[in-house]
């Protein structure tokens, strides 16, 4: 550029007939005289001209070069090498960071395109203005010292955040603080803003957004947040259910920050009433204020809240049974549930001779109030009658009738924790079933027949039962992960015989661990024991059969005043069933609830009863086996298991294995 301008001056002085080479030599000589130490080369600087689309590009302004000069530069003797690279204009950003982006090293060939690409990379770091240059300086030995001149953006000195109420300022500053003290970088600032949005979204505040970002002259960046306030909540679709009944299940309130997790809990609470076929929500910005939102809860009621059920099944306790029931899941349009159920079965099957062969009859009338006193408290009441061959007292007939009221309250400080309190009254009547046979058993073991009266003790009991339940399961149908634990104390006052008043404590914990995509492994531990008093044998703890140590007959491990047991179980769906046509539609829903299982059970009974002596029960047992479970919503798993005992089964046990049939889970 300089020699070109000098060339024009010479032209004006009418040195017109000199060749271009002469002009060039004159210019270079003049530059050498003016800058004897700098050694500026022909291409003396690379001013950058970045824009928003191309980020940064460099151009070289130089006078027209002759074809001969271009050819000369391409010869080996004119190839130039970079001896040194100097970075100027950086303070907050290290020179090494810039050099890594330039992708140039000492000893590299000097190349315009490489330098342009390097400057583009530096600009894309986001820390520098468009005013960047690369000035090549020729050293006496013919090498190049490349001087890179940069200008940093104004540094960020501080951040302020306003508008946040549900997330702390400290938490929101975490992604921003690494930018403090560095030149402002729009790309990194946007990444930090995205992280702020993610923090809100991870907590359920999906409507929260960064409303504005402004800069102060002193380098402070101000961030304003709109969290998404609920303006109103409307209910739509309810024809029978009263508005206030729906509304009392919705805990999200106008004026609060919208939280998707809390709204989902409200929808699940509504759906759990079993009064609705479907429950959804809609979100619309408020017309008067776009930063506030109107929420609509859409419910689709069941066509008929009253259902009639008839079925049949097989259970180790009830035998081959038939059941019938009628229920109304939205009684009086208040989401109350009232039901009447009856089961008649053949009695226990596949068991030893200790259980009286007798028809098993059970009837129950129940009433459920989901909103007792407040939304987090429910009330369940029931009256019942049961008549069956006793499982605890050998060859006896057991009749129970009574009622129970249970209040359950979800703890506010921990949504997974529920406290319950039950008040019940029950009359337990135990009658002789086969005196001649039981007398023979007593005589065989030289036990006085007078002790039979101890086994047949019943009574009228008033019970008080506080309990705590901890539940983090991902599903109460097909569970793959989470924890279910409970502890319960029962104090039973015998109204017609205070000597039989007693207290007992029971507890259990079950941990589910997901395996692969659809399988699970669970570990369960249970224990219970008498705390005080003389507990009648009819209320003793028992192990063996379904819900306990499988592979043993009902009560086949033993009955006593205390027990401990554990179980490990692997559950997996039917292999490859999801790859078949059967996995679609209603059949698919049915098959998806089936699990093949493999298990190991172990347990021990303490302070055995008379029945354990009469039937030579081992009082401890270990077994393993396989089974099939069908998970039924509202009922739990229906299971068929085959277990093989590894320890002594006693004289009445099945040494080579035993089938058990159950409805429910080994949880309580």
pLDDT at 537: 93
If one compares 213 and 429, the residue with the highest pLDDT of the two is 429
- pLDDT range class, residue 574, cuts 50, 70, 90: confident
pLDDT at 23 > cutoff 50: no
pLDDT at 149 > cutoff 90: no
pLDDT at 115: 84
The DSSP bridge pattern shows strands 82-88 and 292-301 to be unpaired
pLDDT at 32: 39
Best CA proximity match to 445, nearest among 329, 263, 234, 612: 612
pLDDT at 585: 64
- pLDDT range class, residue 98, cuts 50, 70, 90: confident
525-540 average pLDDT score = 95
Q: What is the Cα–Cα distance from 225 to 237, expressed in whole angstroms?
A: 35
pLDDT at 586: 65
Across 103-107, 168-172, 211-215, the highest mean pLDDT is recorded for 168-172
Buried b (16+ CB within 10 A) or exposed e, 140-161: eeebbbbbbbbebbeebeebeb
For 444-485, the pLDDT digits (tens) are: 889 999 999 999 999 999 999 999 999 999 887 788 999 999
For 238-274, the pLDDT digits (tens) are: 888 888 888 888 889 999 999 999 999 899 888 888 7
pLDDT at 38: 36
Across 29-43, 70-84, 115-129, the highest mean pLDDT is recorded for 115-129
Helix or strand or coil: residue 514?
strand
pLDDT at 29: 42
Q: What is the Cα–Cα distance from 405 to 417, expressed in whole angstroms?
A: 20
Burial (CB count <10 Å: 0-12, 13-18, 19+), residue 115: buried
Rg of the chain on CA atoms, in Å: 42
Encoding tokens for residue 242? 């009263």
The CB density around residue 208, as the number of other CB atoms within 10 Å, is 24
For 46-84, the pLDDT digits (tens) are: 444 344 333 333 333 333 344 444 454 455 556 888 888
If one compares 60 and 201, the residue with the highest pLDDT of the two is 201
Q: Are 629 and 638 in contact (CB under 8 A)?
A: yes
- pTM beyond 0.85: no
If one compares 307 and 375, the residue with the highest pLDDT of the two is 307
**Residues listed for the chain:** 668
If one compares 15 and 470, the residue with the highest pLDDT of the two is 470
Q: Lowest-confidence range among 338-342, 606-610, 644-648, 660-664?
A: 660-664
Question: What separation, in Å, do the N-terminal and C-terminal C-alpha atoms of the chain show?
Answer: 91
pLDDT at 91 > cutoff 80: no
- pLDDT range class, residue 635, cuts 50, 70, 90: low
If one compares 114 and 203, the residue with the highest pLDDT of the two is 203
For 556-570, the pLDDT digits (tens) are: 999 999 999 999 999
Q: Are 86 and 145 in contact (CB under 8 A)?
A: yes
Q: Cα 422 from chain centroid?
A: 31
Q: Which long-range contacts (CB under 8 A, 24 or more apart) does 322-328 make?
A: none
Residues paired with 331 in a beta bridge: 336
Q: Are 124 and 52 in contact (CB under 8 A)?
A: no
493-521 average pLDDT score = 94
pLDDT at 288 > cutoff 80: yes
Q: Which domains does the chain have, with CATH numbers?
A: 1-32 (no CATH), 37-149 (3.10.20.310), 158-226 (3.10.20.310), 229-301 (3.10.20.310), 306-663 (2.40.160.50)
For 310-345, the pLDDT digits (tens) are: 988 777 778 888 999 999 988 888 889 999 999 998
- pLDDT range class, residue 552, cuts 50, 70, 90: very high
Sign of the CA dihedral running 156, 161, 167, 169: positive
3-state helix, strand, coil in the chain (%, to 5): 20, 40, 35
Q: Are 252 and 231 in contact (CB under 8 A)?
A: no
505-520 average pLDDT score = 94
For 343, list phi and psi in degrees, rounded to 5: -130, 135
- pLDDT range class, residue 223, cuts 50, 70, 90: very high
Q: What is the Cα–Cα distance from 333 to 353, expressed in whole angstroms?
A: 50
- How wide is the angle at C-alpha 399 spanned by C-alphas 394 and 404, nearest 5°? 125
- Across the chain, mean pLDDT equals 83
């Amino acid at each position: 550029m300089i020699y070109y301008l000098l060339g024009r001056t010479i032209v004006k002085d009418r040195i017109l007939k000199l060749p271009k080479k002469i002009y060039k030599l004159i210019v270079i000589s003049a530059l050498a005289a003016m800058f004897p130490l700098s050694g500026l080369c022909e291409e003396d600087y690379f001013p950058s001209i970045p824009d928003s689309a191309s980020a940064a590009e460099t151009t070289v302004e130089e006078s027209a070069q002759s074809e001969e000069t271009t050819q000369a530069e391409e010869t080996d003797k004119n190839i130039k090498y970079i001896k040194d690279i100097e970075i100027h204009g950086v303070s907050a950003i290290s020179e090494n960071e810039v050099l890594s982006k330039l992708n140039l090293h000492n000893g590299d060939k000097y190349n315009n395109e490489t330098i342009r690409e390097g400057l583009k990379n530096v600009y894309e770091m986001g820390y520098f203005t468009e005013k960047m240059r690369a000035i090549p300086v020729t050293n006496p030995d013919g090498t190049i010292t490349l001087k890179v001149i940069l200008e940093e953006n104004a540094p960020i000195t501080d951040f302020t955040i306003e508008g946040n109420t549900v997330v702390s300022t400290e938490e929101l500053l975490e992604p921003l603080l690494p930018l403090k003290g560095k030149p402002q970088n729009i790309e990194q600032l946007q990444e930090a803003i995205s992280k702020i949005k993610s923090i809100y979204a991870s907590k359920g505040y999906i409507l929260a957004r960064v409303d504005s970002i402004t800069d102060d002259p002193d380098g402070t960046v101000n961030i304003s947040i709109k969290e998404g306030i609920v303006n109103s909540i409307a209910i739509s679709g309810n024809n029978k259910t009263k508005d206030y009944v729906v509304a009392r299940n919705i805990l999200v309130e106008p004026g609060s920050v919208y939280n998707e997790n809390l709204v989902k809990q409200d929808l699940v609470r509504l759906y759990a009433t079993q009064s609705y076929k479907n429950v959804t929500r809609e979100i619309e910005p408020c017309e008067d204020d776009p930063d506030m939102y109107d929420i609509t809860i859409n419910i689709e009621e069941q066509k008929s809240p009253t259902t009639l059920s008839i079925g049949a099944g097989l259970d180790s306790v009830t035998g081959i049974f038939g059941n019938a029931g009628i229920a109304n899941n939205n009684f009086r349009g208040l989401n109350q549930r009232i039901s009447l159920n009856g089961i008649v079965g053949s009695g226990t099957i596949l068991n030893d001779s200790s259980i009286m062969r007798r028809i098993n009859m059970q009837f129950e009338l129940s009433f459920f109030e989901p909103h007792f006193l407040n939304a987090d408290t429910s009330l369940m009441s029931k009256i019942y009658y049961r008549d069956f061959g006793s499982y605890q007292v050998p060859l006896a007939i057991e009749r129970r009738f009574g009622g129970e009221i249970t209040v359950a309250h979800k703890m506010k400080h921990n949504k997974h924790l529920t406290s319950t309190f039950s008040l019940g009254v029950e009359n337990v009547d135990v009658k002789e079933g086969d005196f001649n046979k039981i007398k023979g058993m007593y005589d065989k073991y030289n036990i006085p027949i007078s002790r039979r009266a101890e086994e047949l003790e019943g009574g009228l009991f008033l019970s008080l039962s506080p309990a705590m339940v901890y539940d983090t399961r991902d599903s109460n149908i097909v569970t793959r992960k989470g924890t279910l634990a409970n502890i319960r104390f029962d104090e039973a006052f015998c109204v017609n015989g205070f000597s039989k008043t007693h207290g007992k404590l029971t507890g259990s914990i079950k941990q589910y661990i997901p395996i692969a995509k659809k399988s699970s492994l669970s570990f369960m531990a249970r224990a219970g024991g008498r705390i005080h008093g003389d507990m009648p044998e009819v209320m003793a703890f028992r192990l063996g059969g379904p819900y306990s140590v499988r592979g043993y007959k009902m009560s086949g491990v033993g009955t006593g005043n205390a027990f401990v047991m554990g179980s490990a179980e692997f559950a997996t769906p039917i292999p490859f069933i999801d790859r078949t046509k059967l996995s679609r539609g209603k059949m698919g829903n049915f098959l998806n609830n089936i699990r093949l299982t493999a298990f190991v059970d172990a347990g021990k009974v303490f302070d055995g009863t008379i029945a354990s002596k009469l039937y030579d029960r081992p009082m401890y047992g270990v077994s393993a086996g396989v089974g099939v479970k069908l998970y039924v919503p509202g009922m739990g798993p229906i299971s068929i298991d085959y277990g093989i005992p590894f320890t002594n089964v006693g004289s009445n046990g099945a040494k080579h294995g035993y089938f058990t049939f159950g409805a429910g889970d080994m949880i309580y």
